[in-house]
Amino acid sequence: MSKKVFLIILGLSVVVTYGVAMADFVFNITTGKIGMPFGFSSVSLLGSSTDYTKFLLDIAFWFIIIWIIWKALQKMTAKR
pLDDT value of residue 70: 93
| Cα four-point dihedral sign 20, 25, 31, 35 | positive
What's the mean pLDDT in 59-78? 93
What average pLDDT is seen over the chain? 86
Q: Is 39 or 2 the better-scoring residue by pLDDT? A: 2
The proportion of the chain whose per-residue pLDDT surpasses 70, expressed as a percent, equals 92
| CB 61 within 8 Å of CB 37 | yes
Q: CA nearest 17: which of 49, 40, 44, 33?
A: 40
Given a cut of 90, whether residue 51 has pLDDT beyond it is no
pLDDT value of residue 8: 95
Given a cut of 80, whether residue 45 has pLDDT beyond it is no
Cα 58 vs. chain centroid, distance in angstroms? 5
